Amino acid sequence: MNKVRIVSVVVPTRDRPQFLDPALASIRALEGPDLTFEILVGDNGSNHDATAKVTQAHGAQHLIVTTAGAGAARNAAMRAATGEFLAFLDDDDVWTEQHVRSHLQIFDCQPEVEAVFGQVVMTDPNLRPIAAPIPYDVRLDGDHLKMMLDGYFPQIGATMARVGVRDVYGYFDETLLADQDWDWQLRLARGGHMEHVTVPCVLFRQRPSGSYDALVLSRIPYTRKVFMRHAMPVWRKWRSPKEWLHSYFATLLGFYTYFADAAVERAARGDAKGVRFAVRHALLVFPFRAVRQLVTPTPLRAAFFWSIGLGARPPAAQDAASD
Q: Which tens digit of pLDDT belongs to each residue from 47-102? A: 889 999 999 999 999 999 999 999 999 999 999 999 999 999 999 999 999 999 99
Position 141 confidence tier, pLDDT thresholds 50, 70, 90: confident
Residue 240 clears pLDDT 70, i.e. is over it: yes
Decide which of 289 and 139 is more confident.
289
Distance between alpha carbon 66 and the CA centroid of its chain, in Å?
23
Q: Which domains does the chain have, with CATH numbers?
A: 5-205 (3.90.550.10), 213-307 (no CATH)
Residue 106 clears pLDDT 80, i.e. is over it: yes
- State phi, psi for 287 to the nearest 5 degrees: -60, -45
Among 72-76, 139-143, 158-162, whose mean pLDDT is lowest?
139-143
Residue 321 clears pLDDT 70, i.e. is over it: no
> Which residues, 6+ apart, have CB-to-CB distance to 258 below 8 Å?
210, 216
DSSP state of 140: T
What are the Cα distances from residue 111, in Å, to 78, 161, 170, 191, 202? Answer: 22, 12, 20, 14, 24
Q: What percent of the chain has pLDDT over 70?
A: 97
Among 62-76, 96-110, 202-216, whose mean pLDDT is lowest?
202-216
CA distance 294 to 73: 42
Residue 8 clears pLDDT 60, i.e. is over it: yes
Beta-carbon count within 10 A of 284 CB:
14
Taking residues 257-264, report their average pLDDT: 95
Residue 160 clears pLDDT 50, i.e. is over it: yes
Residue 267 clears pLDDT 90, i.e. is over it: yes
Q: Which tens digit of pLDDT belongs to each residue from 221-233? A: 999 999 999 999 9
DSSP string, 249-294: HHHHHHHHHHHHHHHHHHHHHT-HHHHHHHHHHHHHH-HHHHHHHH
Position 313 confidence tier, pLDDT thresholds 50, 70, 90: confident
Q: What pLDDT is stored for residue 318 in this prediction? A: 46
Position 195 confidence tier, pLDDT thresholds 50, 70, 90: very high
Residue 323 clears pLDDT 90, i.e. is over it: no
Q: What pLDDT is stored for residue 222 in this prediction? A: 97
Q: What pLDDT is stored for residue 320 in this prediction? A: 52
Q: What percent of the chain has pLDDT over 90?
A: 89
Q: What pLDDT is stored for residue 314 in this prediction? A: 83
Cis amide leading into 154 (omega within 30): no
Helix (H) or strand (E) holding 73: helix 70-80
> Which residues, 6+ apart, have CB-to-CB distance to 197 below 8 Å?
102, 103, 106, 116, 117, 118, 119
Nearest by Cα to 24 from 81, 122, 119, 91: 91
Whether 39 contacts 61, CB under 8 Å: yes
